[in-house]
Structure 1
């Protein structure tokens, strides 16, 4: 694995952690503030809940692929 890929995975893990924090904060918002957040989301109207799932799926897929290539 190249240093660049290791760096990418490190940053992807950090991004996943941050999306999880945002998801937790989003879940605590009242409905009217959730609506406000969704009106301004830049990612094709993906909620923080969906973004969290997608990023962790991406990270898990990468980790699985890399662990399988080691064996």
Structure 2
């Protein structure tokens, strides 16, 4: 169970970072967004698109594997 708690903790940190990245991306001009995405690998989604599935994954993890205090 310790490994699962560690994983959820790191997923939470990752989700927070995707949120921060999304916020910074949203503040770019349209031409800056285009430059960023042109430099990104082909299969990489924009920060806007990455943000939602990561938080959905975190929410699912919390719902399925909610770890009670003391376990």
TM-score range, shorter chain: 0.7 to 0.9
**TM-score, length-scaled by structure 2:** 0.85
Deviation at 1:40, TM superposition (A): 2.5
Aligned residue pairs total 68
Q: Which has the higher contact order (CA 8 A, sep 6+)?
A: 2
State the distance in 2 between where 1:22 and 1:58 align.
17
Give structure 2 stretches of 5+ with no counterpart: none
Whole-angstrom distance in 2 between the partners of 1:27 and 1:49? 8
1:1-71 superposed matches below 5 A: 2-42=1-41, 44-67=43-66
TM superposition score normalised by structure 1: 0.85
Q: Give runs of ≥4 in structure 1 deviating > 6 Å.
A: none
**Structure 1 residues not aligned, in runs of 5+:** none
More helix by share: 1
| Separation (CA, whole Å) in 1 of partners of 2:18 and 2:36 | 14
CA deviations over 1:11-55 (Å, ceiling 9, x no partner): 000000000000000000001110111122347131101101010
**CA-atom RMSD in angstroms:** 1.8
